[in-house]
Amino acid sequence: MKTRRSPSMKIDLQRWRMQLVMLLIFGAFIGLVGRLLYMQTFQKDFLVKQSDLRVKRKVEIPAHRGMLLDARGEHLAISIPAAAIVLNAREAEITPAQITQLATGLAINRAWLEGLVRDKKASFVYLRRQVPAEDAEAVMALKIKGVSSRPEYRRYYTAGDTMAQVLGVTNVEDKGLEGIELSYQSALAGVPGLKSVIRDRSGNIVEELDLVRLPKHGHDLTLSLNSQIQYLAYRELQAAFEKFRAQRASAVVLDARTGEILAIANYPAYNPNDRATMTQARARNHAAVDAFEPGSTMKPIFISAALERGIVKPSSRYDASENLVLSGKQIRDTHPKGVITVAEAIQVSSNVVMAKIAVSMDDSDIHDIYTRSGFGKAPGSGLPGETRGQMHSLKSKWKPIEKGALAYGHGISISLLQLARAYTMFANDGLLMPLTVEKRSAPVVGERVISQATAQQVRTMLEMVTQEGGTAPKARVPGYRVAGKTGTAHKLIDGSFAGNRYSASFVGMAPASNPRVVIAVMVDEPSTGVYYAGEVAAPVFSRIMAGTLRFLALPPDAPMQSLPPVRTPVVAEAV
């Protein structure tokens, strides 16, 4: 028998259920309101902080790196606006066609980009740094979700490969890696600014909130380098490199009175605006960082010590008709000249005469003149990686052959920059000038190494070298008196001298009556069969010096018909 519910009970049950549901909903609502009030009152700071951590960021405002200028104010290195293109693969929404467009626009590997998008693991990946502004704009115009850009700067070098090794380069972070960019990093680099922004899920900035710190831009640096002289030196080195099929060639041009480096060039080089051309060998500033045996270019420095101590005079006579044996080793001249004066020995580059003088001197006399001339220590020009070279120590007594070899530039290694600096003492009546790659704003005082009388005597001898009967008539410059010295040396390979590998160098000054410019040139391993410095390096010196004197508008001190006849023989020096 079934029990029937009354209609009134059914209605009461429905009403009770409805009231219960309404009570639960109202309770939940009250709970939510209470929770919101609690969070807004007691957890407001915590929630704001958590929100800021997710969307609010402090981002750097790139600082503009200081410019590099030459001595005439020409721009050598400038920072131009660029952008970094960034991918948030987790948020990216990109079609295959857009992947192709993006890879093409950024010149990156499509398969690599496709893999990043497919994996969706990386939230921040640089697709490419230092993208030119116009290319970055084209990429952003694709409006690909997950792809964003960040402002930065890209370094541009107006002189290209002609100044590559001396200026150096910066990395993608705009920090100096080589050359002046490295050694003057602290002055050139600015301090980035800081600003607060809100980013969306894709990393794009949707709102800039406030400026925390203004960027502090780097200082501009005016160099002593003259871009015209630098280009001239580079061009002549390239011509010599190709003509003599050399391994490399270098040149240093100095203002003899101030010690300012007007040019320091090497060939071959690379284009700093195209890093694909950059190799470790081509990035080296060989003139400053590599040492070589200078050969006979050391003879004038050595002979100045003998003159200072009264051991010889320019007119002192020595017999150079026969080879000299020291410590069982033979020292010879290419063409024995009989009895000649010290001045003539410099003119024809006699090893025998230099060695005879050396054995009559104390070890300390030779060591002192070389160290006081700047050898065995870095020149301190402001260029990074300057070599100290190698000098004989005075800890043990030198053998006669060691003293003889040092007199004509063997057994010592120096850089071309050190050699050029040493000759400033002959140009400045005995004062050795401190070097700098920065433009000087005040006069500088040199260090006295030899007396004025000795410097002038040596300068007269050096002028004889460029006359007929000397080793470097091809170093002459029309309208100017030129003084200088050749150096041809066997290269030292694995501890022994290579029989058919040479370095040919020439260092000199002009106008010889009142020197203003010192230039040193070195051609490494000429391989055409012509290797004497008078044939290889002296003509390069002549052309660089002629252009430099013209650029500096220095008045002539000799007749314009001062060049030797085309077929004037070059006296071969002892090697």
| Residues known to be catalytic | 296
Give the span between the Cα atoms of 574 and 48, in whole angstroms.
Answer: 84
Element holding 251 (H helix, E strand) = strand 248-255
**Is 99 within 8 Å of 117 (Cβ atoms)?**
yes
- β-partners of residue 58 are 196
Counting every residue, how long is the chain?
575
Q: Does residue 193 sit in helix, strand or coil?
A: strand
**Is 532 within 8 Å of 572 (Cβ atoms)?**
yes
Give the span between the Cα atoms of 373 and 69, in whole angstroms.
Answer: 30
DSSP-H helix ranges across 70-109: 96-106
Per-residue buried b or exposed e for 34-44, using 16+ beta carbons within 10 Å of the residue's own CB = eeeeeeeeeee
DSSP-H helix ranges across 2-43: 7-42
Give the span between the Cα atoms of 530 and 527, in whole angstroms.
Answer: 7
3-state secondary structure 161-186: HHHHHHHCCECCCCCECCHHHHHCHH
Give the span between the Cα atoms of 374 and 434, in whole angstroms.
Answer: 10
Q: Residues with Cβ < 8 Å from 158, sequence gap 6 or more?
A: 74, 75, 76, 77, 78
Q: Residues with Cβ < 8 Å from 205, sequence gap 6 or more?
A: 59, 148, 197, 198, 199
DSSP-H helix ranges across 213-298: 227-244, 280-283, 286-289
**Is 465 within 8 Å of 564 (Cβ atoms)?**
no
Give the span between the Cα atoms of 303 and 460, in whole angstroms.
Answer: 13
Query: CB-based burial of residue 559 (10 Å sphere; 0-12 exposed, 13-18 middle, 19+ buried)?
Result: exposed
Strand order in the sheet with 496-510: 261-267, 248-255, 517-524, 496-510, 483-493
